[in-house]
């Protein structure tokens, strides 16, 4: 019974663990930090440009998608490292695929950011 209680925990413990995971990503993963800073900058520029609510919503969704996939990429890498510390061709493929997913999402997020920010930015300066 005690083991079941410890496994389920409380809502506070659940959120504490979730925030610990976010903090781990923010403090140890340089790509996560870069993604976060660039995303925050784009959102601030969008606010400055007063983009429409709908366009801003696309940016927010893109930011959350990028951050989420970056964290999943970290999970995959840490899981592979837990299973084997030695070089293994299949482990390399798994890590490469995970990084490839992040690359594809990053390109998509960048395209969304460009499509939302560029037109009002162009109008503001030209």
Residue 43 near residue 59, CB atoms below 8 Å: yes
DSSP reduced 3-state for 117:
helix
Catalytic residues: 70
Tokens of 101: 């997913």
Query: Between helices 53-83 and 89-125, what is the axis angle to 10°?
Result: 160
Residue that has been written with the tokens 């366009």 in this structure: 55
Separation of alpha carbons 62 and 44, rounded Å: 14
């Amino acid at each position: 019974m005690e083991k079941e209680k410890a496994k389920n925990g409380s809502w506070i413990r659940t959120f504490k663990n979730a925030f610990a995971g976010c903090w781990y990503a923010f403090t140890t993963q340089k790509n996560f930090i870069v993604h976060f800073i660039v995303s925050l900058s784009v959102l601030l520029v969008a606010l400055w440009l007063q983009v429409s609510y709908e366009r801003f919503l696309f940016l927010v969704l893109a930011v959350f998608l990028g951050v989420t996939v970056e964290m999943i990429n970290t999970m995959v890498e840490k899981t592979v490292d837990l299973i084997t510390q030695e070089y293994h061709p299949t482990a390399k493929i798994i890590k490469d695929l995970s990084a490839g997913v992040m690359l594809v999402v990053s390109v998509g997020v960048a395209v969304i950011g460009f499509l939302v920010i560029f037109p009002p930015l162009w109008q503001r300066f030209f």
